[in-house]
Structure 1
Amino acid sequence: MTGPDPAGTVPQGFVVVLDPRTRVVDGGRALLGGAPTTHLLRLTPRARALFTGRTLRVRDAAGAKLADRLLDLALAHPLVDELPPLADPRCTYVIPVHDRPQPLDRLLASIGPGNEVIVVDDASADRAGIAAVAARHGARLIVLPVNVGPAGARNAGLRQVRTPFAAFVDSDIVLAPDTVPTLLRHFTDPRTAVAVPRITGLRTAASQTWVGRFENSRGSLDLGARPASVRPGSYVSWASTACSVARVAAIGDGFDESMRVAEDVDFGWRVVADGWRVRFEPSVAAAHEHRARFGTWFVRKLEYGTGAHPLAVRHPKSVAPAIMAPWSAAMTVALLAQRRWSVPVAAAICGVTAVRISRKLDVEGSAALGVRLTAGGAAGTLLQTGALITRHWWPAAAIGCLVSRRVRRATVVAAVADVVLEYATGGRIELDPPRYWLAHRLDDIAYGAGVWLSAFRGRSAAALLPQLRRPGSSRKPVASRRNKESSSVAMSAESSSSHSS
């Protein structure tokens, strides 16, 4: 993979809108938000004049520079419906398949005629069935003599692509008519390498089991409804290539063929490390046929977990199961101690942190912002801790429960609190609470077992260790590293940066 042109900026007509969680502070003179760290971006009068409400439309070089900065810091996202059309939107669909001719037929029907499609048969047992489906839809067929896995099959198709863009789509996906055309609009940004839609559940008669209904409510591939710049440590830190569109010139040889699982996570992280952007666009979706039988579902969740160690080897700074600032880690340790002094000490840590943040911000209403950011950081850290106990560290927690009353209490709270919170926040849950809770915990057990299995095989605990992120220690996006005015300050659960524009 090669990096983007460092001089490339978004074109005139490009439109960005502030992220829903980006705050306009200091009387409109600054923006506060971003990911994976929290940033304070101070706006000059000229920069403020470029906005219409929370939207910025690029009309000149100054607007393009500011839009790039907002995208780099994840303070804003492209407003995809108003992006200018691509000069050359030609795209080839690359579909890896191993047996399953009926789902393939369903996918090709959803793509429709008039599109260039390459079907890569990854050594199917029913090669004649796959060939018949591909021929019926006018797709080009590549037959591999041995099974190489999804990464190798995608690469085999990628080598035959002659268009500027490639859409990688798994055979168990069904596409809406506007999914790929909408994703292609993101590539008017010359630094975007990959764009992915929201992955939702495909509703079929088979998906109405309790496992299928859990997946439709909380699928592993569903990254939510908030648009994002996908990058390690962010609220959307990875993206599946069950459906994705990529700029062929940006992705080199494609996927790591030595990886049978988590190859999509590795692919995205390598793209980001080279300075490209990966966009998550939830306004369009691809429907995925989830596994709905308990046995195959549980095994697949375990397989997902086994990708942890290979990722830790390739991306040691990105694979941590939790990221905490020193102050939030200290708060968590105090609460987990469950002593009389635990709550007062945790409150004191949060109070000192809020004061420090407010002083660093130096904006109108900084005291209230300091409290709000500290509270958000504390809540986020507690949620991460609960996930560690019930998911990544559950084997250790289970042993601890046998010998420690405090571990039992912490585990019970963690195992109940997340489900209660999901119901309380109005999530679209299709199961009754007892079965939803059971499926949630089994999901955690399977994934966590896979993580421990991969760590045992690799003789390394790297994929199990949380990361302490000190102020200024996080890696900035490419454009931010070029900004000589940047300085780091401690603001929330993670480190933050203060910029002027």
Structure 2
Amino acid sequence: MRHGRLPDGFGVRIDPRVRAYSGGRILVGGSPARLLRLAPEAAALIGDGYLEVTDPTSASVARRLLDSGVANPRPRLLPAPEDVTVVVPYRDDHDGLVRLLAGLRGHSVVVVDDGSSRPVRLPADRGRCRVTVLRHDRALGPAAARDSGLRAATTEFVALLDPAVVPRAGWLEVMLGHFSDPEVALVAPRIVAHEAYTTVLGRYEHTRSELDRGRREAEVSAGGAVPRVPDTALLVRRRALLAAGGFTGTRPVTADSDPAADLCARLERDGWRLRYEPAARVTCDHPVSFGKWFARKVNHGAAEAPQARRTVAGPQQPPAPAWAAVAAIMLSSLTRWGLLGGVVTIAAAVLRLRRAFIELDNPAEMAALCAGRALTAALWRLASAVCRNYWPLTVLAMLVSRRVRRIAVTMAVADGIADWYTHRDTGGLDPVRYVVCKRLDDLAYGTGVWWASLLSMLAARAARRGRPEPAPTPPPAPRRAAVLTCV
């Protein structure tokens, strides 16, 4: 479904990881990787890697580059900040709400009190914001609270911010620019720590939080580098979300569901584009005590259990072709025949890719590069499955097999070192402590996945035996409690 062409003045920049061949007529890159052939006229429009939309032809080329994932948007026009309403789902987090409102300046804010034990009390310092409070008589969950705020807002765009976050300067303008593309429905910022931590867990979370999607901008799409984003902080096109059913959709939100992932899937299915913009940042507190940190990781695994079960290695792992998965399993066996089979599989894939890249200046080089990327992704997925999602099965296998113990330990160390190298940052942990924290992180995440899966299985068995859980009642309409304006 198309919603309109790109406006004049909209720009796109070829991703720096994309390789150009044959005078720019063939582009190879994106996530998942693909080969894009351009007509000579289209290649001439790109020039030094930047294309500005000036007419229908350039708009069509820019759209194709964006759809292929080989270019990133560079909008120059942006809607007015007055077209944005901030919605805050609130439940017994007064300190967080005070901090958030103090960080907003002149916005229209809707606070949805989701059945707090004590009604929300607005602070004196509201940053010149016009604050509207809605209240649910009982707790319906953050997803229902966000939907109530969406329905109460009247502006074209809505920023959904949890009380635990504080936006940094320029966050809104950076994300608003993406909406000059009429097909964009959702933009997510990067979520980083409020402050630099000195503890081991704090420094680990600074670079490896489950809320942080990294330093590289990307399209949010299934099978891409960023398959989903957290709902902690989002900027959305209001009519698109309402048409898609909001966060709750048509099905009730349960402990086994992930409203953010379901929302992304529904918007993508409806033809909307979703973006992750790391230049826009909001800060969030991270737990630094081991108990709270471990519990948060367990809850994160439980929330992603449906996606983790469907994707084997987890929703955040890069995709890999079937041949690469077979080669990775063979190589990981560390046996003579396994290594030989893996090498043969890789060689066959390189030859096949070379035929596909025959039009390039150096098809063998490109084939080897693509095969290497695919194999790396497959090894990463395999290590994630062994050490993260399916660690209980790995432990059982290690108890009875020395070979499995050797393979599992090798994967655990190699995966940890590779992850440290990928996410290394100034002031971060050394490799040894990082690997230890990563393994504890995976242990907690896998525990959450298995616990949520067990509860889901027991609930399904109870339903089959004729003892289904009572159907949830539809959420009542929120009651408007107060409209307060700070001058």
TM range (shorter): 0.7 to 0.9
2:276 is matched with which residue: 264, 273, 280?
280
Contact 1:104 1:133 in 2 (8 A): no
Q: What SS does the aligned partner of 1:139 have?
A: strand
Report the equivalent of 1:73. 68
2:208 is matched with which residue: 206, 210, 218?
218
Report the equivalent of 2:158. 166
Offset at 1:258? 1.1
Structure 1 residues 121 and 335, CA gap change in structure 2 (3 angstroms): same
Stretches of 4+ moved more than 3 A in 1? 128-138, 308-316, 318-324, 422-426, 432-435
Structure 1 residues 433 and 326, CA gap change in structure 2 (3 angstroms): closer
Report the equivalent of 1:262. 258
1:85 is matched with which residue: 68, 78, 83?
78
1:406 is matched with which residue: 395, 403, 417?
403
Q: How does 1:173-252 map to 2 (within 5 A)?
A: 173-203=165-195, 207-252=197-242
Partner AA of 2:53 in structure 1: V
Offset at 1:127? 2.4
Counterpart-to-counterpart distance in 2, 1:335 and 1:184? 46
Offset at 1:338? 2.3
Offset at 1:310? 4.4
Offset at 1:259? 4.0
Q: Deviations over 1:351-384 (max 9, x none)?
A: 1101100101222211110011101111111111
Offset at 1:135? 10
Of the structure 1 ranges 386-395 and 425-434, higher mean CA displacement relative to structure 2 is found in: 425-434
Counterpart-to-counterpart distance in 2, 1:388 and 1:305? 13
Offset at 1:412? 0.7
Report the equivalent of 1:292. 288
Offset at 1:118? 0.7
Report the equivalent of 1:388. 385
Partner AA of 1:197 in structure 2: P
Counterpart-to-counterpart distance in 1, 2:149 and 2:311? 26
Matching of residue 452 in structure 1 with residue 464 in structure 2 = no
Contact 1:16 1:67 in 2 (8 A): yes
Q: What SS does the aligned partner of 1:125 have?
A: coil
Q: What SS does the aligned partner of 1:162 have?
A: coil
Contact 1:30 1:41 in 2 (8 A): yes
Q: Deviations over 1:20-44 (max 9, x none)?
A: 2211112322111122x32211111
When the two structures are superposed, what TM-score results if normalisation uses the length of structure 2? 0.86
Counterpart-to-counterpart distance in 1, 2:420 and 2:300? 26
Contact 2:320 2:378 in 1 (8 A): yes
Of the structure 1 ranges 44-53 and 87-96, higher mean CA displacement relative to structure 2 is found in: 87-96
Q: What SS does the aligned partner of 2:277 have?
A: strand
Q: Deviations over 1:67-116 (max 9, x none)?
A: 11111111111024xx223378600000112112112111111112x210
2:37 is matched with which residue: 38, 42, 66?
42
Contact 1:322 1:388 in 2 (8 A): no
Partner AA of 1:171 in structure 2: P
Contact 1:93 1:168 in 2 (8 A): yes
Q: How does 1:261-410 map to 2 (within 5 A)?
A: 262-311=258-307, 323-363=319-359, 364-410=361-407
Contact 1:200 1:216 in 2 (8 A): yes
Counterpart-to-counterpart distance in 1, 2:206 and 2:305? 28
Offset at 1:132? 6.5
Report the equivalent of 2:18. 22
Matching of residue 95 in structure 1 with residue 88 in structure 2 = yes
Of the structure 1 ranges 360-369 and 129-138, higher mean CA displacement relative to structure 2 is found in: 129-138
Structure 1 residues 311 and 132, CA gap change in structure 2 (3 angstroms): farther
Partner AA of 2:435 in structure 1: W
Contact 1:266 1:311 in 2 (8 A): no
Q: What SS does the aligned partner of 2:336 have?
A: coil
Partner AA of 1:104 in structure 2: L
Structure 1 residues 84 and 320, CA gap change in structure 2 (3 angstroms): closer
Structure 1 residues 426 and 255, CA gap change in structure 2 (3 angstroms): closer
Report the equivalent of 1:486. none
Partner AA of 1:407 in structure 2: V
Report the equivalent of 1:13. 9
Counterpart-to-counterpart distance in 1, 2:129 and 2:79? 27
Offset at 1:181? 1.6
Structure 1 residues 311 and 163, CA gap change in structure 2 (3 angstroms): same
Offset at 1:133? 6.9
Structure 1 residues 380 and 311, CA gap change in structure 2 (3 angstroms): closer
Report the equivalent of 2:465. none
Q: How does 1:399-478 map to 2 (within 5 A)?
A: 399-424=396-421, 427-428=424-425, 430-459=428-457
Structure 2 unmatched ranges of 5 or more: 459-487
Q: What SS does the aligned partner of 1:341 have?
A: helix
Contact 1:58 1:64 in 2 (8 A): yes
Structure 1 residues 128 and 331, CA gap change in structure 2 (3 angstroms): closer
Counterpart-to-counterpart distance in 2, 1:139 and 1:172? 18
Q: What SS does the aligned partner of 1:346 have?
A: helix
Q: What SS does the aligned partner of 2:152 have?
A: coil
Offset at 1:286? 0.8
Contact 1:298 1:443 in 2 (8 A): yes
Counterpart-to-counterpart distance in 1, 2:120 and 2:216? 42
Contact 1:18 1:75 in 2 (8 A): yes
Report the equivalent of 1:149. 141
RMSD: 2.6
Q: What SS does the aligned partner of 2:36 have?
A: strand
Partner AA of 2:69 in structure 1: A
Offset at 1:334? 1.4
Structure 1 residues 239 and 426, CA gap change in structure 2 (3 angstroms): closer
Contact 2:36 2:68 in 1 (8 A): no
Counterpart-to-counterpart distance in 1, 2:322 and 2:311? 22
Offset at 1:146? 0.8
Report the equivalent of 1:123. 115
Of the structure 1 ranges 301-310 and 375-384, higher mean CA displacement relative to structure 2 is found in: 301-310
Q: What SS does the aligned partner of 2:4 have?
A: coil
Q: What SS does the aligned partner of 2:178 have?
A: helix
Report the equivalent of 1:497. none
Structure 1 unmatched ranges of 5 or more: 461-501
When the two structures are superposed, what TM-score results if normalisation uses the length of structure 1? 0.84
Structure 1 residues 312 and 208, CA gap change in structure 2 (3 angstroms): closer
What percentage of aligned pairs have identical amino acids? 34
Offset at 1:52? 3.0
Contact 1:99 1:126 in 2 (8 A): yes
Partner AA of 2:94 in structure 1: P
Partner AA of 1:224 in structure 2: G
